[in-house]
Amino acid sequence: MVFIDACFRQETPYTPIWLMRQAGRYLSEYQGVRQKTKNFLDLCANVVLATEVTLQPIEILDVDAAILFSDILLLPHAMGLPLEFVPSFGPKFLDTIKSLEDIKALKRGAYKDLGYVYEIVSNVRSKLDKSKALIGFSGAPWTLATYMLEGQGSKTYSRSKKILYAQPEVAHALLEALSIEIISYLDAQARAGANALMLFDSWAGALELEAYLEFGWDYIQKITKALKTKHPKVPLIVFPKGVGTYLAHLKGDFEVFGCGWDTPLEHAKEVLGDRYVLQGNLEPARLYSQEAMRNGIEHILEVMGKKAGLIFNLGHGMLPDLPRSNALELVRLVREISRR
Ligand code: CP3
């Protein structure tokens, strides 16, 4: 698999590419399947349909990796927080974590209740071409904790930060409980056939350096260390979004460092050197214009060169109104320009 070779910095015939949120509303085929279920959670739990949408971007875009179709919030949901996806608003937890008692009441071993996720993984793996990789994933503890504390997306993260600074022991209890679940959850995905595992820390950039190291990165280090021991041949990808200025501090047992569009790759390459393979980081909005997209692709490939060390991706997820024709062109161009 070109993608897995590239994760381990082996030379490949071209730079592999996949796109965050490559299965989603910008694809009419996704919308067609989405309409068959009343809500998004039903789609995530439907083995046949979730398998179908996981495979759509492989068939349509010919990307080098499929990513499990699911959501990072299924794990907190399984731990006992009722979750809804509200149309044109986003995810909403009907209960939030307010105290140590609430954390004690969370279900332990909740990953066992997500059997359908592992079924989707093994079903996808059995249908996927041998040359294509399947990526399993989880949210990182800090990002999951923000949703559990805020109840929904937030601009200020004031509830989460209040707990972090005023009751750090409560924050650590929640992050610890999440980390234990995440290790088992990702381990189960690898055992079901996931070829690589990714941790999304989408809201890493909401914290100052010291707080991020203590409440965010420290847990990522523990998780990757545990998984690396269990699955040395499964590459681990971390994606702490918005922490470009903290890079020198972000060390750990993983192969691939995902860069958001906010982190210039020149900078990541300089600071991280050859320590990690980089993944990223085309600003998704560049796909609104063919010219902006082409310039962005050329710049990234120029900075990273044709040697091993890059997995091409967007610097955050595909937006629902991006033209699919440009997503197709993106994959074609990256393959053509990066061919060795
Ligand atoms: O990348 C993929 O194609 C795999 C599937 C995937 C989804 N969510 C599908 C999804 C992955 C990897 C995620 C991760 C996820 N979910 C993150 C981390 C990545 C990131 O974007 O930073 C976060 C923060 C979430 C939480 C979440 N889920 C939000 C904020 C939303 C609403 C956003 C919106 O545009 O409505 C979701 C819903 C969601 N997750 C959708 C999809 C395809 C849209 C649901 C729909 O079809 O109505």
The answer to whether residue 201 is catalytic is no
pLDDT of residue 273: 83
Conformational region of residue 9, where left means phi above 0, alpha means psi within -120 to 50, and beta covers everything else:
left
**Ligand 1 atom closest to 19 (CA):** 1
* CATH number, residue 31: 3.20.20.210
pLDDT of residue 32: 98
pTM higher than 0.95? yes
Q: Which of 147, 212, 219, 246 is catalytic?
A: 147
pLDDT of residue 62: 98
Direct distance between the N- and C-terminal alpha carbons of the chain, in angstroms, rounded to an integer: 17
> Per residue of the chain (340 residues), what is the pLDDT tens digit?
999 999 999 999 999 999 999 999 999 999 999 999 999 999 999 999 999 999 999 999 999 999 999 999 999 999 999 999 999 899 999 999 999 999 999 999 999 999 999 999 999 999 999 999 999 999 999 999 999 999 999 999 999 999 999 999 999 999 999 999 999 999 999 999 999 999 999 999 999 999 999 999 999 999 999 999 999 999 999 999 999 999 999 999 999 999 999 999 999 999 998 899 999 999 999 999 999 999 999 999 999 999 999 999 999 999 999 999 999 999 999 999 999 9
Q: To test the ligand 1 pocket, which listed residue (69, 71, 89, 154) has its Cβ within 8 A of the most ligand atoms?
A: 71
Looking only at the bridges linking them, the beta strands covering 83-86 and 90-93 are antiparallel
Give the Å distance between the CA of 211 and the centre of ligand 1: 25
pLDDT of residue 337: 98
User: From the annotation, which residues make up the binding site for substrate?
Assistant: 21-25, 71, 147, 202, 316
Ligand 1, atom 10, residue with closest C-alpha = 71
Q: Which of 5, 42, 71, 113 is catalytic?
A: 71
Q: To test the ligand 1 pocket, which listed residue (17, 18, 20, 21) has its Cβ within 8 A of the most ligand atoms?
A: 21
- Which residues on adjacent β-strands are paired with residue 90? 86
**Structural domain count, the chain:** 1
Please give the residue range of the domain that contains residue 334: 2-338
CB 66 within 8 Å of CB 55: yes
Comparing CA positions, the residue from 21, 27, 33 lying closest to residue 66 is 21
**Ligand 1 atom closest to 67 (CA):** 4
Q: How distant, in Å, are the alpha carbons of 14, 17, 51, 69, 308 from that of 57?
A: 19, 12, 11, 11, 24
Amino acid, single-letter form, for residue 192: A
Whole-angstrom Cα distance, residue 246 to residue 255?
18
